[in-house]
A and B are shown apart, each in its own frame.
Chain A
Amino acid sequence: MSAEVADAPTPGPMGSRSVKLISCVLSDDGTERRLLRWLRDQGITGANSVYCRGHSVLREAKARRGKLPEPELVRLVTIVVDVDEADALFELIYAQADIHRSGGGILFMTPLTFATPFVLPEGVADGCGSFATTRID
């Protein structure tokens, strides 16, 4: 273990800090990538995105009798956020992800009892040939 790693900020338990989990179900039409890019620009790095199969009865789809219709590829984006910022971020994500349009997806928020902070080390590369300019705690 190098000295640099030992000097890096060590996140401790944040039991007293209230956090919320914002989940966003988005169609795989690029909205999710735009949202993640926007979140990164806001300095929010505690976001995850996973592929899911989405089944919706409100979407027209052909299906054989007794079988589910072909699922739609969707993305589930989850964001852990401080309780103080949760409501404002919820509204911003609603606008950024175009939830208000037909087929725009679902946005919901659940309370969490505990979360560890996600802190990036200094000077971590933000992309190919670039370095992060923002750092959050």
Chain B
Amino acid sequence: MSDAAILTEQLTRKFGELTAVDRVDLRVTAGQFFGFLGPNGAGKSTTIKMLTGLLTPTAGRMQLLGIDFSRHPIDIKRQIGVVPEGMGLFERLTGAEYLTFVGRMYGLDKSTTKQRCEELLDFMQLADRPKTMIADYSHGMQKKLALAAAVIHGPRILFLDEPFEGVDALAAGALKALLARMTERGATIFLTSHVLEIVERLCSHVAIIDKGKLVAQGSLEELRAGVPSAEGRTTTLEEIFLSIVGQGGAERPNVEELSWLM
């Protein structure tokens, strides 16, 4: 039990009649690069919001780093970093101002904040526009800044909701390297992405959620073992995903119905 960075028991969230997350039991071991997958509207973002304190669960329990979230939310928030859906940036600050603000809010002293802020802006290639407000950043630049803010205090768990969306290939490479180094050093990374190739390349463990229910969880090898594959060929994550979520493609829209399309 003690090596679990993230542990949920019967985690549930309802919005009126709709059960967005239904009795989810997640277990993410410390140091894992964990991919959380699901189709649109499956409950991925709702789960991340609950795990990061942005949403209160309707039922169930959450423990992060062995600490009960409902009892010690501040202690947990000190040790996690989040890039939420929508990024949560103060758009009328410059990148440097925002990072300085976040660093200070995490309790970093002034000189450490300043140093990390410079290094992160440089690493994220955001340093050449010191006077530009976040509102005027492109989507990709905002994403990079949100990621910089999420790691400025050296979190032990990093939650990333679609971190590579809108980020150019050059920056994405640098981000992947940064995340890989964080896991090497013992940090746990919990990410959602629709780009299954990225998840397959980065993550050692994966969970799949569909219609609010957790339908698969384990290492990539364990998931592959459950899906039949052509001889001599490794099953891709996309095939695993489609076989679990789409029941072998039964739920996929039939393109032949659009016969008039070129």
Same assembly: no
